[in-house]
């Protein structure tokens, strides 16, 4: 383990201006040694800064491929760790130091850590979001008493995840064909299938903005409200991942229930319900057919009556 690790951050941007990225760029330059910006936009971003490299793709390659190319660039340039970030997230002060120090202690204690993530909270409501990522905690090893703020989890959001070179060398980058949704979940499952643990350090915090906000449903629980097009990618990618043996069976079963719930209720209770319904159906069709290319939104909408 290097005494002075090279930690590079990989920030994926989509149709963002330098002004919109200002806060997250400043924070990442404070907390990491170098920043790779993966620009999924037709308009180039130009930074004249010795610690910033911009990969201008000239198009939207999707989060998965952008992250893969960013990781490849960072590790090829000598990074020991990559911190994944997206434009809607903002790390708290010292988040990266907290993650690295906790990772180091866990490795010294002989835990095989594939990535370590912070505790994330909603940027708008300030509510912490941890339960959904810890479904099978009873099946994970319990950290020793010296690690009271560490939890071994099944899943972690990409944004805020600190990934060591060892993990990258073992399994590579993201599954590019997923394009956007479930990219982080698939990566965690693949890490665990290769003998790695996913750790969350609760003292490290990150603010994350989800979709179009949240909505109370029947005054019982809250749901995240995504943009309508995201239903296509979620439904398609869920069905595509059903064929992967390393994807947990309990997640597959829960996903069937969730998709049933969403296709029956979301078109009725959310705005643009008809459009959402169309995206869900086409996503299911393409997922079953394993049609994983990027879609054209207009032609997709016109595909069904």
Per-residue pLDDT of the chain (305 residues; tens, 9 = 90+): 556 789 999 999 999 999 999 999 999 999 999 999 999 999 999 999 999 999 999 999 999 999 999 999 999 999 999 999 999 999 999 999 999 999 999 999 999 999 999 999 988 778 887 655 665 544 466 666 668 899 999 999 999 999 999 999 999 999 999 999 999 999 999 999 999 999 999 999 999 876 555 666 555 666 778 899 999 999 999 999 999 999 999 999 999 999 999 999 999 989 999 999 999 999 999 999 999 988 876 666 566 55
Instruction: Report how many helices (DSSP H) and strands (DSSP E) the chain contains, helices first.
Output: 9, 12
Q: Indicate the fold that domain 7-208 takes in CATH.
A: Spore Coat Polysaccharide Biosynthesis Protein SpsA; Chain A (3.90.550)
Q: Global pTM?
A: 0.91
Q: Do β-strands 52-56 and 81-86 pair in parallel, antiparallel, or remain unpaired?
A: unpaired
Domain with CATH 3.90.550.10 in the chain: 7-208
Is 187:111 a contact under the CB 8 Å cutoff?
Answer: no
Q: How far is CA 158 from the centre of its chain?
A: 3
**Cα distance from N-terminal residue to C-terminal residue, the chain:** 58
Neighbours of 214 (CB within 10 A): 15
Instruction: Specify the length of the chain in residues.
Output: 305
């Amino acid at each position: 383990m290097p005494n002075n690790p090279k930690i590079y951050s990989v920030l994926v941007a989509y149709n963002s201006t330098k002004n919109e990225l200002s806060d997250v760029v400043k924070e990442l330059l404070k907390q990491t040694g170098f920043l790779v910006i993966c620009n999924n936009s037709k308009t180039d971003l130009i930074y004249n800064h010795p610690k910033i490299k911009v990969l201008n793709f000239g198009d939207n390659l999707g989060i998965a491929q952008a992250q893969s190319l960013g990781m490849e660039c960072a590790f090829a340039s000598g990074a020991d760790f990559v911190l994944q970030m997206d434009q809607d997230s903002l790390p708290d002060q010292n988040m990266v130091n907290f993650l690295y120090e906790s990772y180091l202690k866990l490795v010294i204690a002989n835990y095989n850590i594939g990535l370590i993530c912070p505790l994330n909270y909603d940027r708008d409501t300030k509510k912490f979001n941890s339960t959904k990522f810890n479904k099978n905690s009873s099946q994970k090893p319990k950290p020793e008493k010296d690690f009271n703020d560490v939890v071994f989890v099944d899943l972690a959001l990409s944004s805020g995840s600190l990934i060591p070179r060892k993990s990258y060398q073992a399994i590579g980058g993201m599954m590019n064909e997923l394009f956007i949704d479930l990219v982080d979940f698939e990566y965690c499952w693949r890490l665990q299938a290769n003998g790695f643990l996913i750790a969350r350090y609760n003292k490290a915090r990150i603010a994350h903005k989800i979709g179009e906000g949240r909505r109370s449903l029947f005054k019982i629980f809250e749901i995240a409200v995504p943009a309508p097009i995201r239903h296509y990618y979620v439904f398609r990618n869920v069905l595509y991942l059903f064929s992967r043996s390393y994807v947990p069976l309990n997640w597959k079963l829960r996903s069937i229930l969730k998709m049933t719930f969403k296709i029956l209720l979301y078109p009725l209770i959310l705005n643009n319900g008809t459009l959402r319904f169309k995206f869900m159906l086409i996503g299911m069709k393409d997922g079953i057919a394993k049609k994983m290319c990027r879609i054209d939104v207009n032609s997709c909408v016109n595909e069904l009556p």
